[in-house]
Structure 1
Amino acid sequence: MTNVDPDEFAAQVNYLAAIGRMIVPQAFAFVGQEILFTGDDPFSAEELSGLLPEGVRYYIDDVYVYVSDVPEDVTFDLVVVGQTDFSEEAITDAIDRGDEPPRFLPQEGFLDELLFGNDWWNVYVECLDAVLEYHPGLQYVKSLETFPWPGTDAEETDCPGVSEVEFQSETPLRKLGYQITGRSRSERWEILSTKAVPELGLQEVAETIARHCRSRKRQFGGREKYAHAIAEWEHDLDRLKREFYSNRRYKFLWPRSEP
């Protein structure tokens, strides 16, 4: 029979009680949530999921359980992303499942919230951004960010604005052959859909066209002088939004830290 030091045993019990008082409130805040773990490092997904209390439904996307096996009616509240072996398919599927995309945390952020209640996604965004610099999984999440669709409204001013020559010579969009003069709508769309969006990205293309519209509208008499060009640009912009932007079920934005 092993002798037990009463004082040492009491110290251990008191320590466990203190840890419990500190951790339990944060841990039980996850009860009722749906959590997806994808990837490992610096910890294993199995180890992290084992820290959750009962009442939390979680899934581990690995070689044994794929996100496609998760019931279609499940929408995730949180996705915990490891630095290696994370699944891009699982991440995009998690975003696309519900009307509101989930929070995304690195494993370190998940532990900080579980142990101390620190929410990196909504409050401590600077911690999230610091890990983003070296975390391939978070970098992929960030690459899926959408953007506010640019508007074309602008107040007329006395400023001359940007000249047609300056615009055409400077923009990467123009260098790919996009222009109003001498191009039909179908020809412009061919350039936009097969060259501009794949090479420059939807955001740059849309913001370039919208900026050009605003520049013309700001010029004194510009709305009348450039009426045809503005109408064509806005036509192309509306089609870009319809074909590439509005058909997304989600509008996913990376959180912004306070300035």
Structure 2
Amino acid sequence: MPGSGLVLAATPIGDPRDASLRLVDALEHAHLVAAEDTRRLKRLAAMLEIHVGGRIVAYHEHNEATLTGDLVARMTAGEQVLLVTDAGMPSVSDPGYRLVTACVEADVPVTCLPGPSAVLVALALSGLPVDRFCFEGFCPRKPGERARRLADLADERRTMVFFEAPHRLAATLSAMSEAFGGDRPAAVCRELTKTYEEVRRGPLAELVEWAAGEVRGEITIVVGGGSPKTLDPDDALAAVLERIERGERLKNACKAVAAESGIPATQLYDAAVAARRE
């Protein structure tokens, strides 16, 4: 018999054979399965040739606010709730965060069955640096809001991962090209793990042209991080002195400007000390 608490379970992002043995066991034995789309869950169970043992309820963005309390009450009473979404890991651009937060506040155990992730698969296939990355989810739909969001990320040094709908792909890539520069390397990953999986790599300007045609399927975009800004040594020194005038400590000012300019902090420190003596 399963224990009590919340189990977050990753589901296949395409190929049903990626379902883990632990996911299969949990679907067969959980007291209750909360699914983003109950029809998709039943199709997955049919493809896996298993029977979902417990009660199935729909849990999605339109009812999670009202249903979360009931699920927590069930878990507090000793039931195990298995949370699955349409694909990938719950709470990553999918329902789940609200329920996890409620469980933490109620001291209800929460565990996870790891598995397929479009974010990690796209990163691995992108050919871009993966030592440091950030996940930005979906860009805003409105052009103005999207442009502002991307402008805020123009200096991001880490590799960035985005989700996008196919009908907005061309507009989003165009906005990225404007915000990051057309020569910024990127990759568009389409239909990951599925029959027609495709990865398009190249500078953003080139990907904008490609996306002008019809593109279908689930989309994950990976964009390389920005290069460090290079400031003239005199401008960098001026930036350090300006920070000091505003009350910042010399050591901290040098570290901050060094990160922006690429000039060693020790070099800036010595130059600032000499300038202040003069």
Q: TM-score scaled to structure 1, two decimals?
A: 0.28
* Structure label with greater radius of gyration: 1
Higher helix share: 1
